[in-house]
Amino acid sequence: MPKTDVDYMKRALRLARKGRGKTSPNPMVGAVIVKNGGVVGEGFHPGPGAPHAEVIALTQAGKRAKGGPSIPISSPVAIPKSEPLLAPMRF
């Protein structure tokens, strides 16, 4: 049975929960990269100073991420002088 966006969002929520109690002051975040009906990358934010979920998912997906939607469960965070912006990532 083909998965829906809701299925991928639920997966991202499950991933985000892996960071429960570990991410403060950052939010819990899960991200899933989908292409051609399958997951090509996923990740969660494990804690302060660690890469964000989207970065982990995009790194895992590599070039397979090109053209595929990202399903993050939280807005990308960029705190000046603390966390880098995610926008400059290119594949």
**Active-site entry in 54, 56, 57, 70:** 54
Known active-site residue 83: no
**Predicted pLDDT of residue 76:** 47
- The better pLDDT of the pair 2, 57 is held by 57
Q: What are phi and psi of 32, to 5 degrees?
A: -130, 130
Whether the Cβ atoms of residue 12 and residue 19 lie closer than 8 Å to each other: no
How far lies 87's CA from each of 47, 54, 65, 78, 84, in Å?
20, 11, 14, 10, 9
Mean pLDDT of all residues in 13-38: 90
Count of Cβ atoms closer than 10 Å to residue 20 Cβ:
9
Mean pLDDT of all residues in 14-31: 91
Distance (Å, whole) CA 65 – CA 80 = 27
Query: Mind listing the domains of the chain with CATH numbers?
Result: 5-72 (3.40.140.10)
- Chain centre distance of CA 10: 13
